[in-house]
Chain A
Amino acid sequence: MKVQQISVFIENIPGRLAEVTKVLGNAGVNIRALSLADTSDFGVLRLIVDKIDRAKEVLAEHQFTVTKTDVVAVEVPDRPLGLAGILQRLDAAGVTVEYLYAFVERMGENAVIIFRFDNVDEAVKVLQGAGIEILPGERIYNL
């Protein structure tokens, strides 16, 4: 039920982001979703890709610091209060969202949002209990 995300440490230097995407592209890795958190000195690029092990390998070869994290892909109704409803349930169950970002593609009537929780397993239980659709990794990587 979890999706594997890779994160890359990027110094705030012109051209670094381009370098990451070039390394991945040349290795035939396709990016499915991404988010960039930035501070004044560095950024953390989080990616969902089709070939996660290959991506990690080529980035490490190019001296990037990479880490894998479990995140959850949730189908969110694409209408007002769609996301709010889900967040309320998580909040009521005491699950904290570390960060989230939206997926580029839609799944029919729904949007896909990637969540990073403090407690992934608990979050999955809460969402499933509430009948909210969670997308398995394979569907996300191959979308």
Chain B
Amino acid sequence: MIMQDFGSTVLTCTPSYSLYLAEVAAELGVDIKSFALRVGIMGAEPWSESIRAEIEDKLNIKAIDIYGLSEILGPGVAIECIEEQHGLHIWEDHFIAEIINPDTGEVLPAGEQGELVITTITKEGIPMIRYRTRDITRLITEPCRCGRTHRRLERMSGRTDDMLIIRGVNVFPSQIESVLMKIEGVEPHYQLIIDREENLDSLEVQVEVNEDTFSDAVKTLQDLASRIRKEIKELLGITCKVRLVEPKTIARSEGKAQRVIDQRVK
């Protein structure tokens, strides 16, 4: 409750930790919305617009995305402006940003999606030259409403190495998250379990039931599960199993959320 005592106005942490804070505050009967908090600077894990809306609502703040990597300087390589909350300005006076095709290594024209490659200009200790970040994004070259002229990186849509290949289909956990967050009442806590059954990949999506989605009628719950299944099928073209689980049973992380458990033999 240091935040309350000191009247903190800015919170910086991972998006999942901010939701965890809101949950703990609610459990303690503390109204976190009444805090002096104004802005949340969040990063270090992929998150979606719907999670942003959820954080902004639950903490009564503006949440902005920050990007960085420990090999360069940690968070702070690029950040959204509060005016636009769309696209992270990369400090081009310190970094040269390029987007490449991760398979061929060739540089892509501005505006195309690919892997972000960074060269540091001003770093003296450990300079990085054309460092492959594994992060997938796009460079936004249009001028920004906030007036800054540094180009923007689109919200990271995933990493070249967190992309899952399930039955030959490329799946980013963020896509499944966007499906879940579109459904009213569904918790932002979910887990994907990937396994192999009889030589076929299987995907199980675990979703926590809460007071909004629970019903005494089994049919309502089954309808919820099948709606999630159907929308994932529509978006990704793969069938999955949806398992409704009890609240607070999916492990809360205080750091990066562990969304994916891949049990397939490598």
Contact = CB atoms under 8 A, between A and B. Distances in A.
- Do A and B belong to a common assembly? yes
Interface of A: 5, 7, 9-11, 16, 37, 39, 41-42, 44, 46, 63-67, 69, 98-99, 116
A65 B218 contact: no
B221 A65 contact: no
B9 interface: no
Contact of A41 (B215, B216, B217, B244): B244
Interface in B213-243: 214-218, 221-222, 243
In terms of DSSP, what is the predominant structure of the interface of chain A? strand
B247 A44 contact: no
4 smallest beta-carbon distances between A and B, as pairs: A7-B216, A69-B216, A65-B214, A37-B218
A47 to B, nearest CB: 10
B209 A9 contact: yes
A67 B245 contact: no
- Interface size on B, as a range, is 10 to 19
A15 to B, nearest CB: 12
Given A42-B221, A65-B211, A11 B245 contact: yes
Contact of B216 (A10, A44, A63, A64): A44
Interface of B: 209-211, 214-218, 221-222, 243-249
B215 A63 contact: no
A44 B218 contact: yes
A46 to B, nearest CB: 6
A120 to B, nearest CB: 12
A67 B216 CA distance: 7
Contacts of B209: 9, 42, 65
